[in-house]
Amino acid sequence: MHVVYVHGLWMPGDESLMLRRRLAQQGMTLHPFRYSAVHSVMSDVTASLHAFVRGLPGDTVHFIGHSLGGLVIHRLLERYPQQPAGNTVFLGTPSVSSRAAVGAARFVALAQLMGQSVAEELLQPRERRWTYPRPLGIIAGTHPIGIGQFLAHFGEDNDGTVAVSETRMPGATDHIALPVSHFGLLTSARVARETALFLKEGHFSLR
């Protein structure tokens, strides 16, 4: 099984190593897609991702998006709907907007470091829906470790960067929250198991 992993802001793709190894034990090959959220607009990122997917063998390709990476996948399917069949998992993706990003944007230096893709996708409220013909599973974290909690003052369950409520997207097939941080979504064995199950069967074990 071929799985395309799309990383989040300020990540290189290599942070998926533990997830990659755990999915390999489930017979899955993880292909990290690398891009620069800071120096690229979303239209260029999705065009590159489209070409990346077309270069993979087979007629089934699954997607995993961590944080901003989930929105890259959402935009890919919006712009290039004729993708191979497969399932999709979002890990801590802020589907509506990001209070942490909005808080960071108040500081000029941080706003410049976030780049155009974040400005396009996360600084204004969105009413995104999942309308694509592939199952979407969303995993949120509830262990608040990260500077986002100081920028956003969530006052609700969050992973230190994204609130659980921000990860919900109408039209998604399944949604679960686990006691991990935003980065911990990539290192947790439990998250890896739930991700593998959803990619294979289209649902999580927790209901």
What count of other Cβ atoms lies within 10 Å of the Cβ of residue 171? 10
Q: What is the pLDDT of residues 147-165, one digit of tens each?
A: 766 666 778 899 999 999 9
Q: What is the pLDDT of residues 76-100, one digit of tens each?
A: 999 999 999 999 999 999 988 776 6
Domain ranges across the chain: 2-201
Closest CA to 158 of 127, 179, 133: 179
Give the CA angle between residues 12, 88, 196 to the nearest 5°: 85
Distance separating alpha carbons of residues 55 and 57, to the nearest angstrom: 7
Q: What is the pLDDT of residues 180-203, one digit of tens each?
A: 999 999 999 999 999 999 999 999
Structural tokens at position 179:
């006691």
Measured in degrees and rounded to the nearest 5, phi and psi for residue 151 equal -85, -30
Helix (H, G, I), strand (E, B) or coil at 193: helix
Distance separating alpha carbons of residues 76 and 194, to the nearest angstrom: 24
Q: Residue 15 — very low, low, confident or very high, per pLDDT cuts 50/70/90?
A: very high
Give first-to-last CA distance, the chain, whole Å: 25
CATH of domain 2-201: 3.40.50.1820
